[in-house]
Amino acid sequence: MDRVQTYSLASGATSITDLAEISKHVQDSGKEKWEEIKAELKDVEEKIADGTVKVTNAQNGEEFDQSKCPNVKIK
Protein backbone atom coordinates (compact mmCIF):
# COMPACT_ATOMS: atom_id res chain seq x y z
CA MET A 1 0.00 0.00 0.00
CA ASP A 2 3.03 2.31 0.05
CA ARG A 3 2.56 3.10 -3.63
CA VAL A 4 -1.17 3.89 -3.48
CA GLN A 5 -2.10 7.39 -4.58
CA THR A 6 -5.39 8.98 -3.67
CA TYR A 7 -7.08 11.85 -5.49
CA SER A 8 -9.94 13.92 -4.19
CA LEU A 9 -12.60 15.88 -6.06
CA ALA A 10 -11.02 19.05 -4.68
CA SER A 11 -7.74 18.21 -6.43
CA GLY A 12 -9.46 18.28 -9.81
CA ALA A 13 -7.77 14.99 -10.71
CA THR A 14 -11.06 13.09 -10.52
CA SER A 15 -14.77 13.71 -10.84
CA ILE A 16 -18.07 11.97 -10.31
CA THR A 17 -18.79 11.66 -14.06
CA ASP A 18 -19.30 14.00 -16.98
CA LEU A 19 -22.30 11.90 -18.09
CA ALA A 20 -21.17 12.21 -21.71
CA GLU A 21 -22.27 8.76 -22.79
CA ILE A 22 -25.69 8.98 -21.16
CA SER A 23 -26.18 12.49 -22.59
CA LYS A 24 -26.06 11.04 -26.10
CA HIS A 25 -29.30 9.16 -25.43
CA VAL A 26 -31.42 11.88 -23.82
CA GLN A 27 -34.40 12.69 -26.01
CA ASP A 28 -35.42 16.27 -26.75
CA SER A 29 -38.43 15.94 -24.46
CA GLY A 30 -36.12 15.19 -21.53
CA LYS A 31 -33.37 17.76 -22.12
CA GLU A 32 -34.69 20.29 -19.57
CA LYS A 33 -34.89 17.65 -16.84
CA TRP A 34 -31.48 16.33 -17.86
CA GLU A 35 -29.97 19.78 -17.27
CA GLU A 36 -31.56 19.84 -13.80
CA ILE A 37 -30.01 16.45 -13.03
CA LYS A 38 -26.57 17.57 -14.18
CA ALA A 39 -26.84 20.76 -12.10
CA GLU A 40 -27.73 18.75 -9.01
CA LEU A 41 -24.79 16.38 -9.56
CA LYS A 42 -22.49 19.38 -9.98
CA ASP A 43 -23.78 20.77 -6.68
CA VAL A 44 -23.11 17.44 -4.92
CA GLU A 45 -19.64 17.27 -6.47
CA GLU A 46 -18.85 20.77 -5.15
CA LYS A 47 -20.10 19.82 -1.68
CA ILE A 48 -17.88 16.73 -1.66
CA ALA A 49 -14.90 18.79 -2.83
CA ASP A 50 -15.34 21.48 -0.17
CA GLY A 51 -16.02 18.99 2.63
CA THR A 52 -19.70 19.79 3.17
CA VAL A 53 -20.48 16.18 2.22
CA LYS A 54 -18.12 13.56 3.70
CA VAL A 55 -17.52 10.44 1.63
CA THR A 56 -16.36 7.37 3.54
CA ASN A 57 -13.85 5.18 1.73
CA ALA A 58 -14.20 1.77 3.36
CA GLN A 59 -11.70 0.26 0.90
CA ASN A 60 -9.14 2.63 2.37
CA GLY A 61 -9.98 1.55 5.94
CA GLU A 62 -12.15 4.54 6.85
CA GLU A 63 -14.97 3.72 9.28
CA PHE A 64 -18.56 4.72 8.57
CA ASP A 65 -20.39 6.14 11.60
CA GLN A 66 -23.97 5.00 11.01
CA SER A 67 -25.23 7.07 13.96
CA LYS A 68 -24.48 10.24 11.95
CA CYS A 69 -26.59 9.00 9.01
CA PRO A 70 -29.76 7.43 10.43
CA ASN A 71 -31.42 7.24 6.99
CA VAL A 72 -28.63 5.08 5.56
CA LYS A 73 -29.31 1.38 6.01
CA ILE A 74 -26.31 -0.95 5.80
CA LYS A 75 -27.29 -4.48 4.73
pLDDT band at 5 (very low <50, low <70, confident <90, very high): confident
Domains in the chain: how many in total? 1
- Does residue 67 belong to any structural domain of this protein? no
pLDDT of 11: 76
Task: Give residue-wise pLDDT tens across range 33-58.
Answer: 999 999 998 899 889 888 898 888 77
Residue 75 falls within a domain, yes or no?
no
Whole-number Å distance between alpha carbons of 72 and 43: 20
Can you tell me the distance from the alpha carbon of 5 to that of 69, in angstroms, rounded to the nearest whole number?
28
Q: What is the mean pLDDT of residues 20-37?
A: 94
| In a domain? residue 52 | yes
In a domain, residue 47? The reply is yes
Is the pLDDT assigned to residue 16 strictly greater than 60?
A: yes
- Determine, yes or no, domain membership for 25: yes
- Its pTM surpasses 0.85: no
